[in-house]
Amino acid sequence: MVSFDTLLTEMIGISKEAATTEALLSKFSEKVKTNFGIDSFVIKDVHKNKETVNSAEEFAMNTGKPYIDNRLSQYSSFPELIRYYNEGYKSCLILPVGEGKKAFGIVTLLSKNEDKFDNSLLEALGLLTNIVGYDIIIKSEKERSVRVARYFDAAFNSTTPQLLVDASGNLVKANKQALTILNKTIKEIVGKQISDFFSIDQASFTRLKNGLTQTASGKADSGRTFSLTSGKISEKLMHVAFYDITESRELLEGTQLMQYSNAEAFMLLDAQTKVVWASKNVDRILKMPQAEITNRRLSDLVYGNKSFAQELDKIGNSIYTTSAKLSVGNDIYLDTRLLVYKNSIGGYSCVVTNNNFEKYVNAVQRLVDDVVQMSTDSIVSIDQLGYIKKMNKSAERLMNCRTEDLAGTPFSLLCADAESQNALNKAISFAAKNGAVTSLFVNLVSKGGTEPLPCEQSIVTNFDENGSVIGYLIVSKELATKRRIERLQDTAEALEREAEKLKTESDLKTQFIYNISHDLKTPLTNIKGFSKLMMEGQFGKLNEEQQEYLRIIMDEAERLMQLILQILDVAKLSSGKIKLDRQQVSLARLGENPSINALVEVATNKGLTFKWDVNYDVPEISADPNRLIQVFVNLIGNAIKFTDSGSIIVRITNRKRNVRVDVTDTGVGISKEDKIKLFKKFYQLPNRKGLTRQEGQGTGLGLSICKEVVNLHGGKMGVVSEPGKGSTFWFTIPIFERKKKQKPAQQPASPE
């Protein structure tokens, strides 16, 4: 390895010679890897793309200090560090590039050796990374400036009139199209104010600088109207494009009255049928908001007519009319009538009418009838004279007879007593004048019934288009049923309150476990650390007996640490604090993970045959790879623990919607009684002679954690086993991440 001074000198030379940031970064990365024995080196420009920064890197940026983890494990502090560990790395160093907490770059270095990054290496890498990091960011900014300049040079060659304007309103540059419209040479406009050519006051210019489109008349020709849009280049310069909208504005003013029509909507299309303007009533006609249909091509919305745009090219000065189904989203299509003609501004004018109105009315009527039939309330339709016309199913059940049996019968005959008949007749007379009556109490009689039915009724009057009464709807709710419903509602509310109370107590217990487990980690870490120092002879040489006792302390401390970590996992899962880091995961490649390879070696050393079998048609799944590894390690570890001879097979198959994983062993098996309790927290199999082998005590949490992780993925987990015949633990993971259900569409129409 060359000296640090020599390496620094070489990097300064490389920085001067490198033409691009990519070249500089590549050479710097190779130098660092070669001279410091680093296995992975990544530098990110935070200003350029902050979205690529992960949580561990963000922590280092926020603190402004290097972050070191020289003992990566599956219990490291950040998900990224766990992923690095699963990829085979043992040490990680994250360096912010910049001063204090104002980092503009972040560097991540990884090594496959433990305790790689000490203070001396940290100082050398920190100094070197900051020096080269500054240079990388400077080169990146220069390249960005060059790209911006090239972009505006290309933009100025377009046919759109464009200007460069400084913060004071002075014109700096104009393209050929702008000079033609303004009828000026470049010398005549440079240095002049934009207000010399357009009727823009200071307030309008301020709005233009803030990115708001402004409409202004031209001073050279007061009859023309222009639309001005701007884009900020820097604090001192902006880019302005302007369009002649004189004809467009006249046409829009001529169509304002159509905004209030309930029969047709109006749209302006460009030459490619893109909607550049739509009347406000388009949402009533097409059930689409004005903002949603604007800037979409009408030819893309027309369903089943791919030649629509070509047909418009042929219309010339004539008017083109056609029936069309328009897609309004969520697989909903509307029957429409389109009237299209070429306008004077280079595009098309289009009038749209909705042919779905009659279908919509019929569908609504059918929907109302269905709702009436499915209602739990008794609903009876009577004519203006009080004779029964129709009854829903609930009314038939209440009256204990069919509609055909009572059709044409006066509804008043269903009243159980004269008082109820009088009250009903008065209520119908009142409803005829006022439209409705509520909270009417009557006693009804059912066919074959011996006791009257106390009911609460509401009466709604049906009018025709001339305001004449054509009938009534009588809605009856049996009070006995109502009282039962109220009692059930009271019971449900009491149960809900009790459940909320139990949930609160459970949350408190979970939080207590979470807090106490965290508190136990610190002294236990100290015990492990000092024990290791003693074993290494830092406090004097130990005899064999002392070393044996110390090994017991270290083993028990490690077992206790694993127990605490598992309890923390259970607490996090129970409280919903764990969020999955979903990625596309290949289960075939997952079998090559270091944690699983270590278990394969343990199984082989025990004399067991191990097989990882993935069917050819198993696709990648959306899952958290680190959590999946946690499940595999637990299931395979249990299989090894309870199997003396034979084999362990991990078989993964495609079940169309799910991927199924089976972990099968030839071990001692599980009894029916134990299978019922197997996935409960802290449950451990009893040490029954000839049925189980307990090589070291577990925590009783592993399978519980596995099932929670699988449930979190949207899958299921179970076991198939018999004593003395081995076991198969299985779980499923959905192939695709399940999305939340979208709200159903309001317009139930589709293409025929």
Q: Structure tokens of 689?
A: 């002679």
Helix (H) or strand (E) holding 502: helix 479-535
Provide the sign of the torsion angle of the four alpha carbons 686, 687, 691, 694, taken in this order.
positive
The closest of 153, 158, 160 to 241, measured between CA atoms, is 160
Q: Which long-range contacts (CB under 8 A, 24 or more apart) does 410-414 make?
A: 410/386, 411/380, 411/382, 411/386, 411/387, 411/474, 412/386, 414/444, 414/445
Q: What is the DSSP letter of 388?
A: E
Q: Structure tokens of 95?
A: 């360096």
Q: Structure tokens of 696?
A: 């070291």
Burial of 386 (0-12, 13-18, 19+ CB in 10 A): middle
Q: Are 109 and 41 in contact (CB under 8 A)?
A: yes
Q: Structure tokens of 687?
A: 């040490």
Rounded Cα distance, 711 and 733, in Å: 9
Q: Structure tokens of 446?
A: 């059912």
**SS3 (DSSP) at 117:** coil
Provide the sign of the torsion angle of the four alpha carbons 731, 732, 737, 742, taken in this order.
negative
Rounded Cα distance, 610 and 650, in Å: 8
Q: Are 94 and 122 in contact (CB under 8 A)?
A: no
Burial of 665 (0-12, 13-18, 19+ CB in 10 A): buried
The closest of 668, 634, 663 to 649, measured between CA atoms, is 663
Distances (CA, A) of 694 to 218, 527, 729: 91, 27, 18
Q: Dmax of the chain from CA atoms?
A: 113
Q: In sequence order, what are the residues at sequence separation of 6 or more whose Cβ sits closer than 8 angstroms to the Cβ of residue 564?
A: 517, 520, 521, 524
Q: Are 23 and 16 in contact (CB under 8 A)?
A: no
Hey, how many other C-beta atoms are within 10 angstroms of the C-beta on 124? 16
Q: In sequence order, what are the residues at sequence separation of 6 or more whose Cβ sits closer than 8 angstroms to the Cβ of residue 325?
A: 302, 303, 304, 333, 334, 335, 336, 751
Residue with tokens 């003013």: 253
Residue with tokens 């210019």: 205
Q: Structure tokens of 532?
A: 């290791």
Question: Which runs of consecutive H residues, i.e. helices, occur in 654-742?
Answer: 672-677, 702-712
Question: Would you state the pLDDT for residue 636?
Answer: 93
485-495 pLDDT tens trace: 666 777 788 88
**SS3 (DSSP) at 170:** strand
Helix (H) or strand (E) holding 668: none
Question: Would you state the pLDDT for residue 730?
Answer: 94
Rounded Cα distance, 640 and 530, in Å: 32
Q: Structure tokens of 160?
A: 């759109």
Strand 348-354: give its sheet, edge to edge: 275-278, 264-269, 348-354, 333-342, 320-327, 302-303
Rounded Cα distance, 521 and 606, in Å: 33
Hey, how many other C-beta atoms are within 10 angstroms of the C-beta on 184? 18
- What's this model's pTM, rounded to 2 decimal places? 0.33
Question: Would you state the pLDDT for residue 241?
Answer: 84
Residue 211: which region, alpha, beta or left (left: phi > 0; alpha: psi -120 to 50)? left
Helix/strand/coil (H/E/C) assignment for every residue in 335-387: EEEEEEEECCCCCEEEEEEECCHHHHHHHHHHHHHHHHHHCCCEEEEECCCCE
Pairing of strands 91-99, 102-111: antiparallel
Rounded Cα distance, 521 and 283, in Å: 61
Q: What is the DSSP letter of 99?
A: E
Q: Structure tokens of 733?
A: 């993971």
3-state helix, strand, coil in the chain (%, to 5): 45, 25, 30
Q: In sequence order, what are the residues at sequence separation of 6 or more whose Cβ sits closer than 8 angstroms to the Cβ of residue 735?
A: 619, 621, 622, 654, 656, 657, 658, 659
Question: Would you state the pLDDT for residue 727?
Answer: 93
Rounded Cα distance, 390 and 387, in Å: 10
The closest of 608, 740, 726 to 665, measured between CA atoms, is 726
The closest of 594, 746, 698 to 74, measured between CA atoms, is 594
Cα first-last separation, the chain? 76
Residue with tokens 């990110």: 44
Question: Would you state the pLDDT for residue 555?
Answer: 76
Question: Would you state the pLDDT for residue 749?
Answer: 42
pLDDT along the chain (752 residues), means of 10: 66 69 76 84 74 85 87 89 92 80 78 88 78 68 58 61 87 84 86 88 88 82 77 80 70 54 76 82 78 82 77 78 79 80 77 67 60 75 88 84 86 88 89 86 82 86 81 82 67 78 63 62 73 77 80 77 69 68 90 90 92 92 90 91 92 92 92 81 60 50 85 91 91 78 47 37
Q: Are 476 and 380 in contact (CB under 8 A)?
A: yes
